[in-house]
Chains A and B, each alone.
Chain A
C-alpha cells in the first residue's frame, strides 16, 4: 500500500487540497488506520492552533487584501474589453480556409473547458471560496444587488456553542451572542436546533441566558 506524503496529509487535514486529491486520500484513509490517525492528529493540531489564535491580529488589512484581489480581476476584465475595442485585422491579412477557423474555435473552446475544469478541481477550498467572493463583489458592482441563495456553510454547521460565544449561521451570514463578562458559564444545546450559554453577568450579578435558534425550528 502506498501511503500519502506527510505534507499531503497535513494539507488534507486542513482542507487545502483539490477535490481529486482529497477524494484519493480519503479513500486511502478508510483502509489505513495509521494514516487516519496521522490525519486526525493534524486536524487536532490545526484546531488547537485555531483556538489559540481565535482573535486575528488587528493589523491585518482585510480591506486592502480584498481590494487587491477584486482590483486584479477588474483589471483583467478591463483589459479584455480594451483589447476587444480594437478593430480586428482584416480577413485578407489572415486568409485561412473557413473550415480551419471553425475547427480552431472548437479546439480552443474545448481546451479552455478542460483547463477550467482542471483548475477548479485542483483549487484548494479556501482559495476557491475567496475567488467566488471576489467575483460576486464584481457582479454586485456591475449588475446591482446580489440576492443570496440558501447555501450551506462549511461543514453545514447550523449552531455552535463555545466558551466565547454562541452562534447561528444562515445564508453566509451569522448572528452571535457573546458573553464577555461571564462567571460560571454553562453551555447547552437543544436538539430542536438551538444553543445556549448561561452565566452570571459579573457587573450586574444577574443570571443571563443567551440563546440562538436555527431557522428551521
Chain B
C-alpha cells in the first residue's frame, strides 16, 4: 500500500486544529483511481463537554486511471482511535466514468471522540471498484463486489425496461412510467431504525413469536419456506428463516428482504437478512440472526405496534459468481411495489427527468 496522504498537500495555510482533522488517504499502488484534489471546506473540531466532535466535510476529486469504464466505487472510512472495529463506507453507483475522466466524491463525517485528546486522523481507503465488464478491483472487506454488482445488474434491467417502453410507446409512454415511479417514491414510507446488541428486547411489552408471511417471486432461484421472529411492541428480534434452493445451481450468498406492517396498516421495508452459505440444488438451510431491530417512531411504543411481517428473497449469488435479482415483472407485485425502493439507477433516471426533463432522459438512455 502506498500512502498518498494529502496532509502534506494541505498543511500550508491550515491551522493546527484544522491539520489535526484532515484525513489520511491510503490507496493501493495499482489502484484504478487516483486522488487529484481534495477540499475540506469548513471542517471543524469542537469540544463537547468531555468529548471532542469532529465534523469533516470532504470533497475529493478522483481520476479513473484504469483502461475501463468505472460503474461503481466504494471508499472505506474509519477511525482507529474512536471506533477501532467499526467503520463506514461511501459508495457511488450508476456511474459511467471513462478512462482518464475525473469524478467527485463527497462525504460528511461526524466523529464523537470521548476524552479531550485530539487522537489520530480519519483514514480513507478503497474497498472496491466495479468496471463495465463486471470485473472488480479491491480488497472487498465490506462485500462491495456483491453490492456493486447487484446495483449494476439492476441498472441494466431498468435501463432495458425504460428503453423498451420508449420503443413501444415513444416518449409519452416513458414519461407515464417515470411519473408513476416518482409517485411511488413520494408515497413510500420510510422508518428510522436502531439495531440493538445481542438480540435483547428493551421495552416493556410482552414478547410474542410471529410467523413471516412468505412472498414467492416466480423467477427466484431460492424460495423462503418458513420463518419467524419475536415481536415486542416496536421491536422485532432474532429473525429465523428457512430457505430452499429450487434452482439447478449451487448458491453461496443470498439476501432476504423483510417487510413489516404496523397496527395502522402501514407497510415498510424493515431491513435485509443476509446469509453466506453453500446451498446445493434442492437443499434447505436455516438463516438466524441474533439481533434486534427497534423502530422508535412506530406506534408510540404501544403494544402490538408491529402487526405482521413478510419475507422474500431479494438477491442471490451463485457459486460461479453469477447473480440473480428480481425481474421487473416480479416487482409489479402490489405487496412489493408500494414498499420497495427503486433501484439506484431508476432513482437517478427519475431524478434526471425531474431536473432536466424528458428529452434529457431520452438522451441518457441512448448512451447505453
B17 at the A interface (CB under 8 A): no
A73 at the B interface (CB under 8 A): no
- Give which listed residue, B51, B89, B255, contacts A213 with CB less than 8 A: B89
- Give which listed residue, A155, A179, A184, A203, contacts B185 with CB less than 8 A: A184
- 8 Å CB interface, B200-216 against A: 200, 202, 204
Q: Provide the bound-state CA to CA distance between A148 and B103, in Å.
A: 40
B244 at the A interface (CB under 8 A): no
A146–B115 touching, CB < 8 Å: yes
Q: Provide the bound-state CA to CA distance between A185 and B115, in Å.
A: 33
CB-defined interface of B285-320 with A at 8 Å, one 1/0 digit per residue? Answer: 000010101101100111000000000000000000
Number of chain B residues close to chain A: CB under 8 A: 76
Query: Number of residue pairs across A and B with beta carbons under 8 Å?
Result: 229
B67 at the A interface (CB under 8 A): no
User: How far apart are A104's CB and chain B's nearest CB, in angstroms?
Assistant: 38
B98 at the A interface (CB under 8 A): no
- 8 Å CB interface, B253-271 against A: 255, 258, 269-271
Q: Provide the bound-state CA to CA distance between A39 and B205, in Å.
A: 12
A215–B83 touching, CB < 8 Å: yes
A133–B49 touching, CB < 8 Å: yes
* Segment of A93-101, A108-116, A190-198 in the binding face: A190-198
- Give which listed residue, A162, A184, A208, A213, contacts B192 with CB less than 8 A: A162
A177–B90 touching, CB < 8 Å: yes
Number of chain A residues close to chain B: CB under 8 A: 78
Given contacts A30-B204, A146-B115, A175-B111, contact A189 B270 (CB under 8 A): yes
Q: Provide the bound-state CA to CA distance between A138 and B271, in Å.
A: 43
A29–B204 touching, CB < 8 Å: yes
CB-defined interface of A166-187 with B at 8 Å, one 1/0 digit per residue? Answer: 1011111111111111011111
Q: Provide the bound-state CA to CA distance between A209 and B296, in Å.
A: 23
A160–B195 touching, CB < 8 Å: yes
User: How far apart are A194's CB and chain B's nearest CB, in angstroms?
Assistant: 8
A72 at the B interface (CB under 8 A): no
- 8 Å CB interface, B149-171 against A: none
Q: Provide the bound-state CA to CA distance between A176 and B56, in Å.
A: 10
B348–A207 touching, CB < 8 Å: yes
A184–B351 touching, CB < 8 Å: yes
B88–A175 touching, CB < 8 Å: yes
A6 at the B interface (CB under 8 A): no
B92 at the A interface (CB under 8 A): yes
A200 at the B interface (CB under 8 A): yes
Nearest B residue (CB) for A41? B300
A214 at the B interface (CB under 8 A): yes
User: How far apart are A67's CB and chain B's nearest CB, in angstroms?
Assistant: 10
CB-defined interface of B159-189 with A at 8 Å, one 1/0 digit per residue? Answer: 0000000000000000000000000010000
A40–B88 touching, CB < 8 Å: no
A173–B195 touching, CB < 8 Å: no
- Give which listed residue, B83, B91, B107, B351, contacts A171 with CB less than 8 A: B83
B92–A168 touching, CB < 8 Å: no
19 extra interface residue pairs, beta carbon distance < 8 Å, beyond A62-B49, A63-B47, A159-B194: A40-B204, A47-B297, A140-B116, A157-B197, A173-B82, A173-B114, A174-B83, A175-B86, A177-B109, A177-B110, A186-B341, A187-B190, A188-B341, A189-B193, A189-B271, A189-B293, A207-B93, A207-B94, A211-B91
- Spell out B's residues near A (CB within 8 Å): 47-51, 77-79, 82-95, 103-104, 106-117, 142, 185, 190-198, 200, 202, 204, 239, 255, 258, 269-274, 289, 291, 293-294, 296-297, 300-302, 341, 344-345, 347-348, 351-352, 355
A and B contact pairs by CB, cutoff 8 A, 30 listed? A39-B204, A40-B300, A44-B300, A44-B301, A62-B47, A160-B195, A168-B83, A170-B85, A171-B82, A171-B84, A173-B51, A173-B79, A173-B112, A174-B83, A175-B109, A176-B110, A177-B88, A177-B90, A180-B108, A187-B193, A190-B255, A192-B274, A204-B104, A204-B106, A206-B103, A208-B92, A212-B88, A213-B142, A214-B86, A215-B84
